[in-house]
Amino acid sequence: MRTQAAMSSSEVPSGSRITDFTVVETATGPLVVCADLRYGGVWSWDPLRDVWQDRPLAFACAGDPMAAQYPDAENDIDSVAAVVSGGRVVLAAGGDEQGIALWDLESGELIRGASFNDDYTAAITEVRGEGPPLFVTATQNADEILVWRPSAEEPPTELPNDDILGIGGVTAASGHGLAMAAAGGGDGAVTVWDLTRGESLASFYSEAGHVAAVSLSRLAEGPVVAAAAENDIYVWDLTRDPEDDPIHDPLTGHEETIRSLDTVTFDDRCLAVTGGDDATVRIWDLRTGTQVGDPLSGHKGSVETVRTAVLDGRHVALSAGRDGRINVWDLQALAR
């Protein structure tokens, strides 16, 4: 197997495992925001200057009357998303033992707190693309899919969920006149919603079991949803009948469970990037249903999060996981 070096690589100063990260475009350039489960907060990384910054956050449940009973309680954050709203970066985050809260990333002040009685967080994402800044979250116990505006005043709205149990991943995107969210879960189901109308568009079912990650993208024929289920990747055409089979056989190659998935379209190609427990990052052509190049090996341990972004004018993939390191891969070079 040919070894491919990353464009750049950097390790979070805390040495903590990176369970999740997001990329937000600020006035000064792209910023990567990472969950730091060990310290109950987040770190930001400027990938163009290789500068890390610790971002302490007020305790999410500080306003809960029960907080006085737990004076040593700290944030439990392993899922993050961020948007720019009103000239500031708004962070939405939660974890396995904490509901969703919103913060001003720069000051660390709470915008909207959480309660000790809130359902814990299963997954969270920002709506990527055009339109107003929004977050979409999934809860662990109630399997609720909620849409949030980055403010203290407006309550979240709930999307109907009749199919997904044990939610594993959530994604959202807008563009081409559509605003959609998708989620997958432990029963192998994947549901796609129209965010404008707050209605379910379609539900699909994988044969591989638990869906850990999903991503929305677009082929020439129209929008598609990709889902990582165990070791396989399924791709469904949203313009077809939900009873139809995926557009091609499941994509296979990972030797262990896939933990994360993201997609990107450029140069008339629709690519997926995946990371898994086999410590590899892989690139896939969603039109042909084939792997692009060799697996990318640069991590020690599970790759738990991958994201596509544009850095310094180039399409890249960022990957992170158990080794606390973020690797940046040049997708434009790798996809030639």
239 vs 319, more confident: 319
Retrieve residue 247's tokens. Answer: 């557009």
Quote the pLDDT of residue 3.
55
Q: Is residue 160 part of a domain?
A: no
Average pLDDT for 56-62: 95
CATH of the domain at 56: 2.40.10
One-letter identity of residue 259: R
Ordered DSSP codes for 104-115: ETTT--EEE---
Length, in residues, of the chain: 336
CA triple 131-135-140, angle to 5 deg = 150
Q: Is residue 79 part of a domain?
A: yes
CA distance 62 to 257: 37
Domain count of the chain?
Answer: 1
pLDDT at 2 over 50: no
Quote the pLDDT of residue 151.
92
Q: Is residue 22 part of a domain?
A: yes
Average pLDDT for 176-199: 93
What does the pLDDT look like over 132-170, one tens digit per residue?
A: 999 999 999 888 999 999 999 899 999 999 888 899 999
Q: Is residue 91 part of a domain?
A: yes
Q: Is residue 78 part of a domain?
A: yes
Listed in sequence order, the residues at least 6 apart from 147 whose beta carbon sits closer than 8 Å to its beta carbon are 134, 135, 136, 156, 157, 158, 159, 181, 195, 198
Q: Is residue 261 part of a domain?
A: no
Q: Supply the pTM of this predicted model.
A: 0.95
> For residue 306, with 0-12 CB atoms within 10 Å meaning exposed, 13-18 middle and 19 or more buried, which class applies?
buried
Q: Is residue 27 part of a domain?
A: yes
pLDDT at 65 over 80: yes
Q: Is residue 92 part of a domain?
A: yes
Cα dihedral 251, 214, 282, 309 in deg (nearest 10) = 140
User: What's the domain range around 77?
Assistant: 11-62+70-120
